[in-house]
Amino acid sequence: MNVPQGAASMSAPTPPFSPGTEHLDHLHSQKAVTSFPSKALPTPPIHNYGGENVASNLTIESDVANRSASQLSIQTTPGPDDSHLSTPRPATRDAFAQASVERHRQFVEKESAAETDQERLELFAEFIVRESRLRRDRYSSAFDAMAGDIMDLTHSSLGIDAYNGCQSCIIRGELYTTHRTCFASQRKQSEGARYFVDMAMSTIPDEEGSRGRSASRWWESDGGSSVGGDRRLERSKRESKYMSLQKENLQWTDLEDVKNTKSTFAAKIEARKEQESTSLSERRAELRYNIQDNVRTGVMSFADAAKAEADFDTREHQRAQDVVQWIFDTFQAEVANSLHAMFCERITKVSASIEHLKGRLCSDAQDTNPNQTQEEGDEKPELLEILTLLKWLFEARELLHKEMFELENERNDLYRDIIVLPYVQAKNDQKVKEATDFFQRDAQDRKVTFEKDILKRYEDILAIIEQNVTRGVEAQLSAFWDIAPGLLAIVQQVPLRLHKFEVLVPQQEYEETPAYHDYPLQYLYSLLAHAGRSAYQFIESQINLLCLLHEVKTAVMTAGSRLLETQRLLEGEDLAGVDQETRAIRADEERRLTDDLKEKVGLVESQWNEALGQGLEECKSRVEDFLTEQGGWDDSLRE
């Protein structure tokens, strides 16, 4: 579910961008070839629809500008009103095929004219991206149904796993080669691969870290646990390579239409009530004037006057009942029916996406690859990203369930007014109390049922996430212990005294950093730092998975405490006392869960320190001290 803004932390997540694109953009700007449409601009945040047309216009203008005159002549010309809303398309299938052949011919010519394989690969990648976008628009309905399969198919186009090569380099002890050969080549491969797929959308919270990771030390921040907090994180839309969510699906949690529908209804009802109040005052004033005038002139007796007032009250009571019935019917027709259908449709779609992710998790469990790195921008999602998307989809569905429950409550309140009003008008207090108690009891029963369903759904999602977190932590821990001893053995080969220690620096490193001629140990320090960061990915992955599991556990605990609170209130216990006790229990449970998380994170980090971290830091410290003595230390080496 990971699209994407800078990076900060949160409770559930995705990547903001694909790193390395600036490198290709720089190369493209230097090549004298016909330009291709630029990558689609990041779409604006939810609730901000104005920017969508801008992005659409830019994409369309770029697309049109790059078509040949022969291509444009066979396209249907958009009308003046919708020319800015859709990309021009060929008039027929034959026309589209002809245009495709022409585009392919132009690509082949440019590929043949390219001087290097790198340029040829970049041209091919751009060609694939452009063609995929055209077909995504042309076959939009089919794409909606096949997005997941398309992702699986395209992922295999450049499925290069460079990490195995890196591991072999490390085990052989060739530490000085890993920085430029293994890890650098891995980054180049992932940069090339990410251009082959550009056909899906995803979401992330605005304050999310790289690839959706929550901060490892989130409990030390001011916000504390994000679960149950008052702060609401708005998500914004980004293009991504793996989430397989179409653009319209990102609006599942957008309730702007709901708010507008309800506010329009409220304004309409308020206007009708005001009109009825004014009309009633005028009619009552007119009645009193007529009665007084008739009594004064002797036309009407006091008994007739009393009867006239009683008849007037009877008519007004019926009129008031008609107004209440009209309000209910209007709500049913203009609000309840449309919103209920919308909520049901969205819940069905979200549930289908959740089931799809569950199936994917089951499939991935059979083919675990702990050596998959956490390089941001990879075309294949990490387990953390899949679980985070699952969590976001689940929360989106819960929000829709809550909205539908509140809609039902509003409808029942209006129906209650229809039943109770005649008893109020008749001043039958006993019937009023009986009817009010009935509806109140019904509301409480429905709330208990609703919260039981919530707890059941939370427990189900917890079981899935807990199972996969356990699997992920075990896989990452195993992968870490596969490389940690070898890395530590290499690090321990660095002597305590560095005055006569020589470092073999590749020639290309001298070209990029001339300071290595005078201070070759700067290169050693950069290798040590890079190796530490790369190895710590396995530790970071475990911590982030544990943090995600903690959030879900806290949510389950909160759902259970709310159910218990509702049940106690239903049994007639005091509201203030129950609320106070529930808050205390909830706080204690959250502290217990947080302490449990801290303990697990501490255990993971202690393994890091014992296996590699402490030895690595001591070696780096010695190198830093030596460089400082020689005048060759640069603070930028720590970055």
Angstrom distances, CA of residue 619 to CA of 173, 398, 530: 16, 51, 13
pLDDT at position 118 is 84
Which pLDDT score, from 0 to 100, does residue 37 have?
Answer: 36
Look at residue 83 and tell me whether its pLDDT is greater than 60: no
Query: What band does 368 get if pLDDT is binned at 50, 70 and 90?
Result: low
**Tens digit of each residue's pLDDT (9 = 90 or more) over 325-365:** 999 999 999 999 999 999 999 999 999 999 999 998 888 77
What integer pLDDT is reported at residue 545 of this predicted model?
A: 96
pLDDT at 572: 85
Residue 2's SS3 state is coil
- Give residue 291's pLDDT: 87
Percent of the chain with pLDDT over 90: 46
Q: What is the pLDDT of residue 575?
A: 87
Which pLDDT value is given to residue 140? 64
User: Which pLDDT score, from 0 to 100, does residue 245 have?
Assistant: 52
Residue 626 CB contacts under 8 Å (≥ 6 apart), including other chains: 498, 499, 521
What's the pLDDT at 297? 86
d(CA 492, CA 488): 6
Question: What is Dmax (Cα atoms) for the chain?
Answer: 129
**Mean pLDDT, to the nearest integer, of 126-146?**
73
Strand partners, 239: 201
d(CA 609, CA 488): 11
In this prediction, residue 119 carries a pLDDT of: 84
Q: What is the pLDDT of residue 367?
A: 67
Least confident piece of the model among 141-150, 287-296, 410-419: 141-150
pLDDT exceeds cutoff 50 at 459: yes
Max mean pLDDT range (34-48, 153-167, 528-542):
528-542
Per-residue pLDDT for 562 more than 60?
yes
The yes-or-no verdict on residue 176 having pLDDT over 80 is no
Highest mean pLDDT among 166-180, 284-298, 465-479: 465-479
- H/E stretch holding 205 reads strand 200-205
List Cα–Cα distances, 527 to 181, 288, 521, in angstroms.
12, 97, 10
Q: Name the range with the highest mean pLDDT among 149-163, 374-388, 542-556.
A: 542-556
Whether the pLDDT of residue 533 is over 90: the answer is yes
* pLDDT over 50 (residue 417): yes
Residue 159 confidence (pLDDT) above 90: no
- Among 232-241, 361-370, 589-598, which is the least confidently predicted range? 232-241
pLDDT of 607 > 80? The answer is yes
* 381 band by pLDDT with thresholds 50, 70 and 90: confident
Average confidence score pLDDT of the chain: 74
Q: Which pLDDT does position 74 carry in this prediction?
A: 34
Query: What angle (nearest 5°) sits at the alpha carbon of residue 21, between those of residues 30 and 142?
Result: 115
Q: Where are the domains of the chain?
A: 21-158+189-249, 252-368+378-427, 465-639
Q: What is the mean pLDDT of residues 483-505?
A: 91
| % of the chain with per-residue pLDDT over 70 | 65
Residues 6+ apart with CB under 8 A from 89: 75, 76, 96, 137, 138
Global pTM exceeds 0.85:
no
Measured from the Cβ of residue 179, the count of other Cβ atoms closer than 10 Å reads 19
Note the pLDDT of residue 450.
96
pLDDT classification of 299: cutoffs 50, 70, 90:
confident
pLDDT at 537 over 50: yes
Instruction: Output the pLDDT for position 126.
Output: 83
Asked whether the beta carbons of 542 and 473 are under 8 A apart, the reply is yes
Reported as a single tens digit per residue, the pLDDT across 23-62 is 434 433 443 333 333 333 333 333 333 333 333 343 333 3
Residue with the bigger pLDDT between 591 and 50: it is 591
User: Looking at per-residue confidence, does 624 or 187 come out higher?
Assistant: 624
Q: Give the residue, 211 or 107, on which the prediction is more confident.
A: 107
Rounded distance between C-alpha atoms, residue 11 and residue 233, angstroms? 9
Inform me whether the pLDDT recorded for 246 exceeds 90: no
HSE, CB side, 13 Å, CA atoms: give it for residue 130: 22
Q: Is the pLDDT of residue 510 over 80?
A: yes
CA pair distance 578, 556, nearest whole angstrom: 19
**Position with higher pLDDT, 284 vs 187:** 284
Does the pLDDT at position 153 exceed 60? no
Residue 47: per-residue pLDDT: 37
